[in-house]
Amino acid sequence: MILEKKYFLLFILLVSTLKIFAQNEIGPDGDKLIWFFAILLLGIVIFFIFRILTGQKRKPLYVREKVKVSLQKDRLYYPDNVKMELQNIGNTDIDIDRPLLVFDNFWLKRKFRLKGTDGRTFYPLYLDKNKVHHLNIDLSPFYSYDKKLIRYPKLKVLIFNVKGKRLGKSVIYLRKTLIRF
């Protein structure tokens, strides 16, 4: 058995060192290359004509969902109200889920979902492209819910679409800190 393996290995080594004769490969003919590019160009032209005739000209080829989020305080330190502004800067309309409000201390985070304001619920919100949505956030209900939130220096707002994809975020500092984290 071992002897057969040795002969088989010797046979493989001898055969692999022999010169392999192959037919020389000739490149593609010029007319075949021209036909290939002509068919490719015809396919692209048919695609754009189909888009124009079916009225899909206004729909983008790729969908980019993006939201610009900005937060403004009414005072420099310890604000009572924060104004949130959402602007759809993507190329399509989006459904915005309830914003996530995060009070952030260095090690601790408290997260709240915003439903609306003044007893009105208006999330999930449908936002057309290039439209703006404003929301005034009163921080006193959060401070009355948990007194320790007054000590949290950072406030962050995260915006998601209804499918769960994060679209944007914004951060502000509510009080002075020695280190910005």
CATH of the domain at 103: 2.60.40.10
pLDDT bucket at 82, cuts 50 / 70 / 90: very high
Concatenating the DSSP letter of every residue in 72-130 gives EESSSSS-SEEEEEEEE-SSS-EEE-PPEEEEE-SS-EEEEE--EETTEE--SEEE-TT
Higher pLDDT, 15 or 92: 92
Range of the domain at 102: 67-173
| Residue 80 pLDDT greater than 70, yes or no | yes
Pick the range with the lowest mean pLDDT from 7-11, 86-90, 129-133.
7-11
Determine, yes or no, domain membership for 130.
yes
* pTM of this structure: 0.67
Determine, yes or no, domain membership for 40.
no
Higher pLDDT, 9 or 138: 138
Q: Tell me: the pLDDT tens digits for 15-31?
A: 666 655 555 666 666 67
Determine, yes or no, domain membership for 54.
no
Determine, yes or no, domain membership for 19.
no
Secondary element (H or E) of residue 171? strand 166-173
Q: Tell me: the pLDDT tens digits for 123-181?
A: 889 999 899 999 999 999 999 999 998 889 999 999 999 999 999 999 999 988 777 76
**Looking at the 3D structure of the chain, how many domains does it have?**
1
Determine, yes or no, domain membership for 168.
yes
Determine, yes or no, domain membership for 124.
yes
Share above pLDDT 90 across residues of the chain, in percent, rounded to a whole number: 38
Give me the phi and psi of 116, to 5 degrees please.
170, -155
Determine, yes or no, domain membership for 41.
no
- The pLDDT of residue 43 is 86
Determine, yes or no, domain membership for 57.
no
Q: Which one-letter DSSP state was computed for residue 151?
A: G
